[in-house]
Amino acid sequence: GERYRSPLLDGLNPQQREAVEYRGPALLIIAGAGSGKTSVLTRRIASLLETREAWPSQILAITFTNKAAAEMRDRVRAILGQGADGMWISTFHSSCVRILRREAEKAGLTSTFSIYDSADTKVTLKRIIKSLDADTLGFTPGNVSARISKLKNELADVDSYARNANMSDPQEVMFVEIFRQYTSRLRAASALDFDDLIGETVYLFRAFPAVAALYRRRFRHLLVDEYQDTNHAQYALVRELTRPVSRELAEEMEADGVHVRNLRDATGAIPGASLTVVGDSDQSIYAFRGADTRNISEFERDFPGTKVILLEQNYRSTQNILSAANAVIGHNFDRKEKKLWSAGGDGEKIVGYTAYSGHDEAQFVADEIAVLHQAGMAYRDMAVFYRTNAQTRALEEILVRAAVPYRVVGGTKFYERAEIKDALAYLISVANPVDELALRRILNTPKRGIGPATETQLASFAEANQITFRQAMRNAGALGLGPKVTGAILALSTLLDEAALKLDPASPASPAGPANVSELLTFLLDGSTLLAGLRNSRDPQDEARAENIEELVAQTKDFNRENPDSGLVDFLTQVSLVAAADDLDDASGTVSLMTLHTAKGLEYEAVFLTGVEEGLLPHQMSAGEPGGPAEERRLFYVGITRARQRLYLSLAMTRAQFGDINVAMPSRYLQEIPVDLIDWKQSPGMANSRGGTQPRALNARRDGFGGGFGKRDGTPPGLPPAPKPKTEWANRVTGTVRDNGDLTLAAGDRIRHVDFGDGRVNQVTGDGAKRIAHVQFDTAGAKKLLIKIAPIEKL
Ligand code: ATP
Ligand code: MG
């Protein structure tokens, strides 16, 4: 007879359907971008729930960002038509925090432990390096934190590292000492850094099999998205969670009243949870943070009995975009060949644009956005990507001027602002009184006349007396400090005590029940005068700082409303785990600007991929790294495959960087895209100086894509035809390369620039292709121009 078919399989292709319906211990779904990996994972969860094969509480799904987690939760809800409370859908970090807070005591922590971000880590390391004079050996907070992070991602701790270190090397001895002190300081402060969150959970499970067994019993289905970007520690965590529970342990659990009978197999053991991972090795872009694609390539060996499903149809992009992506990634060797195809038709050609400068490039982006918007595309369906945050300056400037609503995703770093960290440090000091870092941060913020010498005295007093910094503050009277300073320390200490009492349900200080987060924050801000001080300050910057703190207060109110059962520690956890892409929530109605790394997993109708130049993409930092250029190519691939309908690739021939103007070469990756997929346009700013009132893009449109600006050879009017470009390749990318190579300029010469008008050369520096004219323009001010390619003529 007819088998019932759930509507949640509707529209899926046969491979996707199989991926949703397959049941077994391990499932590996490998597929290129946009082939429905994340969609399939979501439907698989819905399928497990709908068929009642799993309770919501038996599912643990891991996403790469909190935002992706929220989306997946919403989609499951939309498919099932109901919520699925008790299901864990979150990032590795969030899941681990939840586990560690529950099991804090066993992990040797307080349940209110602090989470250190990279800035906290660096402050801590700076203190250690200073106290050891280790900077003379070349140690910096930056290089040490990178090294420690790498080790922790490989699950090495200081002891395991020291065992294999060459202790006759003074450098090694010093590094081990810094690592050791860092570890003990975090312990003493009941703090974990980001990498610890994963590692400590693994250690916990390994040290306490009975604890691990509880989670193995609970999570019967583990699903991981973006598996290609997991590191070794995360891999180990997945292993721990999916191991079987032995018969002995299962019996112990039963004796303890934990219901496991229905889970036990014929041997009496509880089989390991079923594991589903999806990933694309071609999109692995976090090797610099320890991501290891061997987790995918060795998956079948690690998890015997794995079923592998390949998805090959792409539902996101046009064939032109896909063909470009396939061609680019095909240049990475040592990869499994995947052929993505799309039924969506060829679509428009990719538009390439060679700008004269970063500003010109930004103008092009703004103009094209206007054209697309006029044609009916919503701003929220467009995104601009770049390799480095420094590139946003020019983009923002032009977008503001063009009145294009935009939002820099992950660029604001709200919680990293000093004043926000100050306010949060007050909350942390109450939540986790042993956190010396937070206490030292607020000790003299706002200014209370407690200088660095006093701070150091308190710290060494605490150390010498084997007490915490907080206890040292309570005992400030014993330090022999002046009465004013002593009074200030004690007043702060009292404020924190009072705040702590407000959280205590049994305290007479909280007759109406314990204070919520916003009440507590308001109390601390009032008592410390932190906010009032900023409001009354004459420094105009302080006004913005005060507004930021008010925004934080507003956020705590939202938090109370949305999470009535959650408290201070939950709020602090949420704040700690915010990632760049989580910023997207309010992005409706605006164009999104973000780095290529942040763009992973997302999709837009139109994508502008800017700065496709040597030095930016591949980034110059990657040059010396083994595998660097291949990883950068994957980043380019990720960028290309975010686009559904329209893709724009742009580069600038000159780019201002650190006050210098650098000449840029087209990215090597552009050569890898078949010529017929891209329509190259050059800079209208260079080639079409006729001006006029039309927006440049409209001008461009009228002329048609694919050249035809100015004279036929693309030379700006009034200038001699450009010499023949050196290579066919250069010609293709840049239209016509301007080359003023033999233009001789000297101080005193008058010149004309297509954008800046007339001016006088003050000085010529550099030589050969790098000669720079320092020009004072009559109206445009002083500029440095690269003589070889600047759109100038001698008058
Ligand atoms: P990435 O590698 O970029 O993370 P992905 O493989 O996770 O991509 P999804 O984001 O799940 O791909 O899907 C890409 C797009 O294709 C989404 O808009 C999704 O809704 C759509 N899609 C996936 N499967 C189908 C299908 N069978 N029919 C129609 N659309 C689909
Ligand atoms: Mg995805």
Each residue's pLDDT tens digit, 24-55: 999 999 999 999 999 999 999 999 999 999 99
Cis peptide preceding 514, ω within 30 of 0: no
Min mean pLDDT across 332-336, 459-463, 561-565, 676-680 is at 332-336
Q: What percentage of the chain has pLDDT greater than the value 70?
A: 90
**Rg (alpha carbons) of the chain, rounded to whole number:** 30
34 is in an annotated binding site: yes
Tokens 């990215």 -> residue: 667
Mean pLDDT of 152-172: 93
Comparison of pLDDT for 534 and 722, the residue scoring more: 534
In the prediction, which pLDDT does 5 show?
64
Model confidence pLDDT, tens digit, residues 416-443 = 889 999 999 999 999 999 999 999 999 9
Spatial separation of the C-alpha atoms in residues 496 and 435, rounded to whole Å: 13
Nearest ligand (C-alpha, residue 600): 1
Local structure of residue 4 (DSSP, 8 states): P
Supply the pTM of this predicted model: 0.82
Mean pLDDT of 117-134: 94
pLDDT band at 506; cut points 50, 70, 90: confident
CA 635 – ligand 2 centroid, Å: 15
pLDDT band at 203; cut points 50, 70, 90: very high
Kindly state the tokens that stand for 787. Answer: 């003589």
Spatial separation of the C-alpha atoms in residues 329 and 167, rounded to whole Å: 44
CA 108 – ligand 1 centroid, Å: 43
Spatial separation of the C-alpha atoms in residues 649 and 641, rounded to whole Å: 12
Strand stretches in 126-176, DSSP E: none
pLDDT band at 739; cut points 50, 70, 90: low
In the prediction, which pLDDT does 206 show?
96
Residue nearest to atom 4 of ligand 1 (CA): 601
Nearest ligand (C-alpha, residue 225): 2
Model confidence pLDDT, tens digit, residues 63-115 = 988 888 888 999 998 888 877 788 999 999 999 999 999 999 999 899 999 99
Mean pLDDT of 519-541: 93
36 is in an annotated binding site: yes
Tokens 């190259």 -> residue: 680
pLDDT band at 541; cut points 50, 70, 90: confident
Q: By three-state DSSP, how is residue 778 classified?
A: coil
pLDDT of residue 702 exceeding 50 = no
Residue nearest to atom 9 of ligand 1 (CA): 36
Spatial separation of the C-alpha atoms in residues 601 and 609, rounded to whole Å: 16
Spatial separation of the C-alpha atoms in residues 259 and 218, rounded to whole Å: 10
pLDDT of residue 375 exceeding 60 = yes
pLDDT band at 714; cut points 50, 70, 90: very low
In the prediction, which pLDDT does 308 show?
95
ipTM greater than cut 0.95: yes
Point out the residues that are catalytic.
37-38, 225-226, 283, 642
349 is in an annotated binding site: no
672 neighbors 695 (Cβ within 8 angstroms): no
Query: Which of 315, 340, 637 for mutating ligand 1's site (highest number of atoms within 8 Å of CB)?
Result: 315
The phi, psi pair for 684, rounded to 5°, reads -65, -30
191 is in an annotated binding site: no
Cβ of 34 below 6 Å from ligand 1: yes
Model confidence pLDDT, tens digit, residues 642-687 = 999 999 999 998 887 766 778 888 999 999 999 999 999 875 444 4
Query: Which residues have CB under 8 Å from 37's CB, separation 6+?
Result: 29, 31, 225, 278, 279, 280, 311
Residue nearest to atom 24 of ligand 1 (CA): 36
Q: Which long-range contacts (CB under 8 A, 24 or more apart) does 156-161 make?
A: 157/183, 157/199, 158/183
32 is in an annotated binding site: yes
CA 311 – ligand 2 centroid, Å: 12
Strand stretches in 159-288, DSSP E: 191-193, 221-224, 274-279
In the prediction, which pLDDT does 620 show?
85
Spatial separation of the C-alpha atoms in residues 455 and 554, rounded to whole Å: 32
Alpha helices, H only, 467-581: 469-474, 483-503, 517-528, 530-536, 540-562, 568-576
Query: Which residues have CB under 8 Å from 729's CB, separation 6+?
Result: 671
Mean pLDDT of 622-633: 81
Cβ of 33 below 6 Å from ligand 1: yes
CA 473 – ligand 2 centroid, Å: 50
CA 601 – ligand 2 centroid, Å: 5
Comparison of pLDDT for 659 and 319, the residue scoring more: 319
Model confidence pLDDT, tens digit, residues 478-497 = 888 999 999 999 999 999 99
pLDDT of residue 700 exceeding 50 = no
| Average pLDDT along the chain | 86
pLDDT of residue 721 exceeding 50 = no
In the prediction, which pLDDT does 733 show?
39
